[in-house]
């Protein structure tokens, strides 16, 4: 198995980061003395971001530096024109000195923006930073403030670690905003089993994410299967790979409901075709044009999608679990590649949450039901086992039949510990271990059309963040998140608890980090305050990054357990209540409104 090289599989160029060197425009000695040091700040930032960041598809992040330092409105306009021509989607201004704020700031209302004001005393960039932020706030153009903790000497070209962290956090979130803009969410089917998250809220997608909505009926899968609208050569290769690497698990159905070997073999053929078709619907496939289907070859430019499945599909056809799980994983028969963001039950809001996590981490995501809180007493009563360690105060059972990426088994490692990594860091051995750790169990009885569900148990010890966007009438979208860890239970304990839910589905045992107050008073409170039946799980404690990204999109965060010193939002947020960060977030998002009006 080989790693598929980074490729932009969507229409539109990748967004770039624009670096704006800001300077005191007064000539006759002042500007001239600052030209080189200011431009070197810009070059240093560009080097940092280009070296440390990649797009989620593996391609390098490009930085565009203004042709000249910006000392006034004419040079600001020249830079804006260059940035538009170059496809810049994120704006970062840097300066070591005082400059003229309203004449030099970036006024593009849709572009995430930040200012790094050099902490020096000779020509204080901090003074410009404060004045420029005030100008941004007065004009309704929120910007992020980047200011080093320690004073540096003029001409010091190093970027302090605290400044580096903010530059990278801002840039990664800003790239996520710019990457989503103009892309599509594809609903394959409609609302599944009355789940409100399946309702594609076009206003939310358009006004908050800058995305469009696309729709196809699930009958399109039938049409493409019956008319052969897929790559036959790839299908043969995919089916052979699947038979070799995807081992069947136990059939837990009663004998009279078990499908015959012939039926199961037919199900495998169908679910592999479904995976090919779903991918082609999302991003297109030039091979379809070669067999006479030019329209189908184009796809829907979908950066995320969902499949309704239940029950209109699954009462008659094999379920979508294989399609969802293999596409959301970081590899398939073509090799190791960027995962797709595909939601089961067409839960549009969970798909968006998965997308945010993916764009921030570059890694696959776990889709799961927030199924059960198991208290220590309940576990003791049912199994006789006393929970201990991180699990001592109880665990949350995350489990769903659908798109829990195989990466979620935790067979990848970072420094010897279980992890989920960007595809370019995954080894063939890690892929082999993930496949061996996964069984494909014949679907249970309520999937009347058959199919196969992924079954694995996530390894313990992974730092993870569980998140979810919900839409509230009168309020709009809100984000909730919980940082914590995966844990492992003894096999016999896991089996007894798993049997009470569905033993054919993948399990992640999750324990949130507790604060002792509010929604994080205890594990039960986290479960009790969760706003939906679904969640998306990202590797790493990325709560602060999600909060930064949410503030760019003007989505308030209603529930989190991120320490206050990790919060990074636009400077204007402090004006809405510096001592009440959560309330200020709601007030600021309401005041400024959605990013795309």
Characterize the bridge pairing of strands 16-21 and 63-65. Answer: parallel
445 an active-site residue? no
428 an active-site residue? no
List binding-site positions: 345, 369, 534
Region of 210 please: left (phi>0), alpha (psi -120 to 50) or beta: left
Q: What is the 3-state secondary structure (H, E, C) of 152-176?
A: CCCCCCCCCHHHHHHHHHHHHHHHH
- The residue annotated as part of the active site, out of 345, 347, 488, 545, is 345
Among residues 505, 547, 512, 550, the alpha carbon closest in space to that of 529 is found at: 512
Q: How far apart are the first and last CA of the chain?
A: 46
Characterize the bridge pairing of strands 476-487 and 463-472. Answer: antiparallel
List binding-site positions for Mn(2+): 345, 369, 534
CA distance 403 to 400: 8
Among residues 522, 490, 525, 528, the alpha carbon closest in space to that of 509 is found at: 490
Q: What is the 3-state secondary structure (H, E, C) of 342-361?
A: EEECCCHHHHHHHHHHHHHH
- Per-position DSSP letters for 249-302, written without gaps between them: ----S-GGGPPPHHHHHHHHHHHHHHHHHHHHHHH--HHHHHTT-HHHHH---E
DSSP letter assigned to residue 6: P
CA distance 171 to 241: 39
Handedness of CA 544, 546, 550, 553 (dihedral sign): positive
- The residue annotated as part of the active site, out of 369, 407, 498, 545, is 369
DSSP letter assigned to residue 19: E
Catalytic positions: 345, 369
């Amino acid at each position: 198995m080989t790693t598929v090289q980074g490729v932009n599989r969507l229409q539109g160029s990748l967004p770039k980061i624009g670096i704006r060197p800001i300077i005191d425009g007064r000539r006759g000695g002042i500007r001239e003395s600052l030209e080189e040091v200011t431009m070197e700040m810009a070059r240093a930032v560009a080097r940092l971001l280009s070296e440390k960041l990649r797009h989620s598809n593996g391609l390098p992040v490009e930085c565009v530096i203004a042709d000249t330092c910006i000392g006034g409105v004419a040079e600001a306009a020249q830079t804006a024109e260059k940035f538009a021509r170059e496809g810049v989607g994120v704006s970062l201004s840097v300066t070591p000195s005082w400059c003229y704020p309203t004449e030099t700031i970036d006024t593009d209302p849709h572009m995430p923006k930040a200012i790094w004001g050099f902490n020096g005393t000779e020509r204080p960039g901090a003074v410009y930073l404060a004045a420029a932020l005030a100008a941004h706030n007065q004009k309704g153009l929120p910007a992020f403030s980047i200011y080093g903790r320690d004073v540096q000497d003029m001409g010091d070209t190093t970027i302090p670690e605290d400044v580096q962290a903010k530059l990278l956090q801002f840039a990664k979130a800003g790239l996520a905003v710019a990457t989503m803009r103009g892309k599509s969410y594809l609903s394959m089917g409609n609302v599944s089993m009355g789940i409100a998250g399946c309702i594609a809220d076009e206003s939310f997608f358009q006004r908050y994410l800058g995305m469009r909505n696309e729709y196809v009926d699930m009958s399109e899968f039938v049409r493409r299967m019956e008319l052969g609208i897929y790559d036959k050569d790839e299908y043969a290769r995919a089916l052979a790979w699947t038979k070799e690497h995807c081992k069947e698990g136990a059939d837990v159905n009663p004998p009279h409901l078990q499908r015959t070997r012939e039926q199961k073999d037919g199900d495998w053929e169908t679910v592999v075709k479904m995976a090919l078709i779903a991918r082609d619907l999302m991003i297109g496939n030039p091979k379809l044009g070669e067999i006479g289907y030019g329209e189908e070859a184009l796809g829907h430019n979908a950066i995320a999608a969902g499949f309704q499945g239940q029950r209109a599909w699954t009462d008659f056809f094999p379920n979508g679990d294989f399609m969802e799980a293999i596409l959301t994983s970081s590899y398939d028969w073509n090799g190791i590649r960027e995962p797709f963001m595909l939601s089961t039950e067409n839960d549009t809001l969970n798909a968006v949450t998965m997308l945010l996590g993916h764009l921030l981490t570059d890694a696959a995501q776990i889709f799961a039901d927030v199924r059960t809180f198991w208290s220590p007493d309940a576990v003791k009563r049912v199994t006789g086992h006393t929970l201990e360690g991180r699990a001592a105060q109880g665990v949350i059972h995350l489990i769903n039949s659908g798109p829990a990426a195989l990466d979620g088994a935790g067979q990848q490692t970072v420094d010897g510990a279980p992890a989920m990594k960007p595809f370019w860091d995954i080894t063939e051995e890690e892929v082999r271990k993930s496949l061996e750790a996964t069984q494909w169990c014949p679907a249970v009885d309520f999937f009347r059309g058959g199919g196969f569900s992924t079954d694995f148990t996530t390894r313990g010890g992974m730092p993870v963040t569980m998140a979810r966007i919900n839409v509230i009438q009168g309020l709009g979208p809100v984000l909730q998140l919980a940082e914590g860890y995966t844990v492992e239970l003894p096999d016999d304990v896991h089996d007894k608890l798993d049997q009470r839910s569905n033993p054919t589905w993948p399990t992640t045992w999750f324990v949130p980090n507790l604060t002792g107050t509010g929604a994080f008073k205890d594990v039960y409170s986290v479960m009790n305050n969760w706003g939906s039946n679904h969640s998306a799980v990202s590797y790493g404690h990325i709560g602060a990054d999600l909060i930064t990204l949410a503030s760019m999109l003007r989505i308030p965060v209603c529930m989190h357990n991120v320490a206050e010193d990790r919060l990074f939002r636009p400077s204007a947020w402090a004006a809405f209540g510096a001592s009440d960060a959560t309330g200020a977030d709601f007030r600021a998002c309401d005041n400024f409104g959605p990013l795309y009006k």
